[in-house]
Amino acid sequence: MSMYAYLVERVQDLDREIIIYQNNKISARELFADINAVSTFLYELGIRKGDSVGLCLPNIPQAVVAIYAINKLGAVVNAIHPRLKDKALYSALEKTNTKVVFMYDFMVLKHNKTLKDKGIKIISCAYSDYLKGIKKFYKWGFIPYLSKNIYPYSATLKHTKELDIEVNGLLDAIYLHSSGTSGYSKTVKLSSYAFNALSDNIYNMITNKAKVALSASDTMLMTLPVFHGFGLGVCVHFSLSHFKVCLVPFFHSKYVRYSFRNNDINFITAVPNMLRKITNDKKFSASYLQSVKLVFSGGDKLSDKVKDDFNALLKSGGAKCKIMEGYGLSELASVVSINIFPDKNNSQGLPLPSVDIVVVDGDKVLPPDKVGEICVYSQSVMTGYLDDDSAPFILIEGKKYLRTGDLGCLDCDGFIYIKDRIKRIAIIGGINIYPKEVETLISSIEGIKACCVARYEYQGKVMTKAFVELEKNFSLNAKLQAKIKDTVENGIMKYAVPTIIEQVDKIKLNKMGKVDYLYYENLLKSNN
């Protein structure tokens, strides 16, 4: 079935709260009414099965409504980071042949001219659309009504006609922009079936194996972005199907504190850097965590310091749980394993029900404790990459496993341990940064002959360093450094800007004549 049909089937009490957003509590009845209205509006705009609709929003209610409204039509949600710079945004829209995009209103003015020229319609969504009382009036956004291709979100809610469209849940439903398994940006195609299976598997893992009772009155704090597989699959689809979600529009300490002060939060999903920031926030009270039942950490390796510090905060606040680390990929709709036994140190846990994980060396399956490439069989696997047939699958005993590009091992009890990444991805602020793309931009600047961008960790934070080889008569002065930073920020986003830029006499190449990025990563590891 579609994700929309799956949600309808599991939410029987239409009067229960399902979304908390700042000072507004939205019932299931209200949510479904808005989904119906928006889907009808999109249909009247010409959206049909298989069409791509952009979702370029932070964690606001319009994003949740849009996901299910698009899915109800059998169209595809093209999930895009709302702060992408011009070139990267337009590339993501053109590659997917996107016809309509839900966009945060503050970004509309910046992108409208280009999108209008490309024939893309915009549904402008404001921070204040779902606020109530006085807050609705002092949290104004910017909605430019002057252009015919722009529709304010409020205009989408005026439809009451009910559409009945049969949707095949095995067809593409979500586009996620990922590193693939090579370090290059690729568009992952995922079906409704993948996200429905993910929801079922997580529910079974938590209730049957972790023995944690779930209640419709429970609340998930959603700090992970909706354009991320973890955020969309776990925080939105799984959570709404079983309890309610408290949306944090942007990860900022004031929004996090507000959410905890005003609600009993039972579940937290976050990347390690978010947990570190909560722990270091001097205004955050440990007592806020008293009702917490589960804390999920994913998206990057969880350091011992972050884990120990946050677990200590949980304990001092009276919570009877510890962080559960997990592992997953966009290609697998996010999570495939969870460590439901937090005392099993440094493990990313056991596979979810219906998931099988093996470790291989080439085509050979390795025994326990031997390090190799992690391969995963799961119902939540992608249908493939958009316009790319290079999906890295391997057949093992008649079953199709995904080669993840990650190195790790399994112990004799089946617990997974991720050792390192084969791919070059750097995850900064929970966002995938692709060094190859950064290198390409930097190398396009006048005076730069070659470049290598390598990731490293410093005081528990992931950073990148750019090594640059310059043309004759050029020097790495303040002007050139500023040019490099501006080029990367405007071409991709600020998270992609290297923390350090260093000039070298000559970029080291490997035996294949390619940039030897492993040399620079090892150099940074030895220096830190």
- Residue spans of the domains in the chain: they are 1-15+24-167, 348-421, 434-527
CATH topology of domain 348-421: Luciferase; domain 3 (2.30.38)
By the 8 A CB rule, do 23 and 132 touch? yes
Give me the numbers of helices (H) and strands (E) for the chain, helices first please.
15, 28
Distance of alpha carbon 416 from alpha carbon 40, whole angstroms: 45
Q: Are 73 and 42 in contact (CB under 8 A)?
A: yes
Structure tokens belonging to residue 498: 């290297």
User: Where are the strands (E) in 4-125, listed by range?
Assistant: 17-21, 24-27, 52-56, 76-79, 98-104, 121-125
CATH code given to domain 434-527? 3.30.300.30
Whether the pLDDT of residue 47 is over 90: the answer is yes
pTM over 0.95: no
pLDDT at residue 375, rounded to an integer: 97
Cα–Cα dist 137/286, whole Å = 33
What's the rounded mean pLDDT across residues 8-12?
96
Average pLDDT of the residues in 47-52: 96
CATH, domain 1-15+24-167, list 3.40.50.720, 3.40.630.30, 3.40.710.10, 3.40.50.12780:
3.40.50.12780
pLDDT given for residue 512 in this prediction: 42
Pairing of strands 323-329, 186-191: unpaired
Summarize the confidence of residues 474-498 as an average pLDDT: 94
Res. 355 pLDDT band, cuts 50 70 90: very high
- Pick the closest to residue 263 from 22, 439, 475, 519 (CA basis): 22
Whether pLDDT at 338 is above 70: yes
CA dist 467 and 523 (Å) reads 12
Fold: same for 348-421 and 434-527: no
* Pairing label, strands 334-338, 350-351: antiparallel
Taking the C-alpha atoms of residue 34 and residue 28, their distance in angstroms, rounded to an integer, is 10
pLDDT of residue 72: 97
Give just the sign of the alpha carbon dihedral 433, 439, 445, 448: positive
pLDDT band (50, 70, 90) for residue 44: very high
Parallel, antiparallel, or unpaired: how do β-strands 121-125 and 448-458 relate? unpaired
Q: Mean pLDDT throughout 339-365?
A: 90
What are 129's two structure tokens? Answer: 């659309």
pLDDT score of 7 more than 50: yes
CA distance 482 to 167: 50
Helices (H), 410-528: 435-443, 478-491, 517-527
**What does each C-alpha distance from 454 to 69, 201, 273, 451 come to in angstroms?**
41, 36, 19, 10
Query: Residue 452: pLDDT band by 50, 70, 90 thresholds?
Result: very high
Task: Measure the CA–CA gap between 180 and 125, rounded to whole angstroms.
Answer: 30
pLDDT at 79 over 80: yes
Mean pLDDT of 400-412: 91
Q: Give the pLDDT confidence score for residue 390 in this predicted structure.
A: 75
